[in-house]
Amino acid sequence: MTKSRDITITEVALRDGSHAIGHQYTLEQVTAVSKALDEANVPYIEVSHGDGLGGSSQQFGTSLTDEMKLIEAAVSVSKQAKVAVLLLPGVGTMKDLRQAADIGAKMARVATHVTEADVSPQHINLAKELGMETVGFLMMSHMAPVAKLVEQAKLMESYGADTVYVVDSAGALLPYEVRERIRAMRQELTVNIGFHGHNNLSLAMANTLVAIEEGATRIDGSIRCLGAGAGNTQTEVLIAVLERMGLNTGVDLYKMMDLAENIVAPILKKPQEIAKDSLVMGYAGVYSSFLLHAQRAAKQFDIDSRDILIELGKRKVVGGQEDMIIDVASEIAKRQKIVNA
């Protein structure tokens, strides 16, 4: 008899990690990683473009491989794991969600900015109609006060979400801020509470543990820290830490270590680390997926990428506004040219 899980893990490297490799996943890579995750007894594997269903575009980044083929590949080798997809209303469509469900995706994670839950009801409702488990994903959760976050979480609960997540998209939350948010949501909601962290300030693991202490039972991780910015809470490390704490995930630690070392590490162009740009993202509260966009713009305009990221933080630019990165870079370059003239 399988012991019930204390903490349920969703592996996000095949979605969030898409940002880190410029959305260049191959069928072979997704198949190999999904098969190994399934064999390690990971319960949920998220697969899609980094910006969710329909995200492949000039604005967000064009995928090497059609995401539906990647989803299909993951489903084909997942005997016990369920494949999850992310959908941002306005990026992904109802048609995309139906297609993903037809292929075999079993969980829909409907993501909105932390103050815009009211754009999600039709997508959550459709996911329920399709028989999918539904998750409300409140991105950039550091940008709203606790009361506003709870209000938005309750909206997602009322729409039918089975789980609502605090999503630290910028890796900007401090542990006490995570504690306040998860505690308040746990007091007000009856559904599962989840947490998705980024490691831009080296706080992903600490924040995840605080979230668990306060009652979060659905936790995201990325194997080998393969995620946007400096990556997410590192899954294999999290499994080890939770086992030390006496918390059960049902995931095979040795198999996760081997997967990280032998299959995922070769996918990374360079090891995930907290470099200057990812550090600035956490410091300034900037969406983690902006990293490569800002670095390319900095090279194009011959300016410091940190200046771009700081300015994006000041302007409170959020996911979906990637086009502003070029505008900001251009303005900074013009200002510097005037100063240096």
Residue 122: alpha-carbon gap to chain centroid: 22
Q: Is 113 a residue of the active site? A: no
Residue type, 228: A
Which pair of structure tokens corresponds to residue 307?
């200046």
Residue type, 246: G
Does 25 appear as a known binding residue?
no
d(CA 163, CA 211): 14
d(CA 196, CA 164): 11
Q: The dihedral of CA 169, 144, 206, 211: what is its sign?
A: negative
Which of 19, 49, 123, 142 is catalytic? The answer is: 19
Contacting residues for 65 by C-beta, under 8 A, at least 6 apart: 25, 26, 27, 30
CB 43 within 8 A of CB 9: yes
Does 16 appear as a known binding residue?
yes
- Tell me phi and psi for residue 247, to 5 degrees: -100, 135
Does 15 appear as a known binding residue?
yes
d(CA 325, CA 308): 7
CB 177 within 8 A of CB 142: yes
DSSP 260: I
d(CA 182, CA 210): 9
d(CA 141, CA 233): 16
Query: Which sequence positions are flagged as catalytic?
Result: 19
Residue ranges at the known binding site for substrate: 15-16, 169, 196, 287
Residue ranges at the known binding site for Mn(2+): 16, 196, 198
